[in-house]
A and B are shown apart, each in its own frame.
Chain A
Amino acid sequence: EIVLTQSPGTLSLSPGERATLSCRASQSVSSSSLVWYQHKPGQAPRLLIYGASSRATGIPDRFSGSGSGTDFTLTISRLEPEDFAVYYCQQFGSSPPYTFGQGTKLDIK
């Protein structure tokens, strides 16, 4: 089973700042398999990035994904108030289990 480790666990930043979230896999993952979601309390998770770097429909261009192999990054170029949430990476490989990272909580500083 592929284990995804996200860092940091919590990131405290102010609106307007840049956020860099990391997702590290225990073994090499195809870039097409790496997905990022945003999750706010009481809401359904929201797809942000698929295939490591492709933005989902309607996602603002301040969100970008990059990486390959075992190291992947979600970057939010300039934080808006609505961006403060928990972010999860997921590996959606050719066979299950389709594991998630433990999440990074993005807090308002």
Chain B
Amino acid sequence: QVQLVESGGGVVQPGGSLRLSCAASGFTFSGFGMHWVRQAPGKGLEWVAFIRYDGSKKYSADSVKGRFTISRDNSKNTLYLQMNSLRGDDTAVYYCAKGFCSGGGCCYDYWGQGTLVTVSS
């Protein structure tokens, strides 16, 4: 069965860095685009970043552009999010999500359980 397991969250000071990982199993990781989505405390879901199946294209939200970098290692079935220059408003649960596209449209058909990032001094 499909599993997405995030790790790497924790408490970090403002201005600090953190790297999140998402270990994927149960599907052909190299065949699907992958996303990071976050949820700040008491807030809704926010799309953060997307990487194509082969890593050739990457996109990120304006709120994290220039600070966060999405990447993947298809040989390790792992997705990453390098987060630099962290701010208080980056505090959130970060989810990785598997993209799926068919004739009927695209969606996230599987999500991880999330990892909490807290930016605080």
Contact = CB atoms under 8 A, between A and B. Distances in A.
Given A97-B47, A97-B61, A101-B44, A92 B105 contact: yes
Interface residues of B, number: 23
B53 interface: no
B44 A100 contact: yes
Given A96-B47, A98-B35, A103-B44, A50 B104 contact: yes
Interface stretch (A40-48, A67-75, A77-85): A40-48
Contact of B44 (A33, A43, A98, A102): A102
B45 interface: yes
B45 A92 contact: no
B95 interface: yes
Contacts of B108: 35, 37, 45, 47
Contacts of A56: 107, 109
B100 to A, nearest CB: 8
Contact of B45 (A31, A34, A43, A103): A103
A95 to B, nearest CB: 8
A32 interface: yes
Given A56-B109, A88-B44, A44 B95 contact: yes
Contacts of A12: none
Nearest to A88: B45
A43 B113 contact: yes
Contacts of A39: 45
A104 to B, nearest CB: 10
Contacts of A95: 59
Contacts of A54: 104-105
Please provide the 3 A-B residue pairs with the shortest distance between their CB atoms, ordered closest to farther. A32-B105, A51-B104, A51-B105
5 contacts: A32-B105, A44-B114, A54-B105, A56-B107, A96-B60
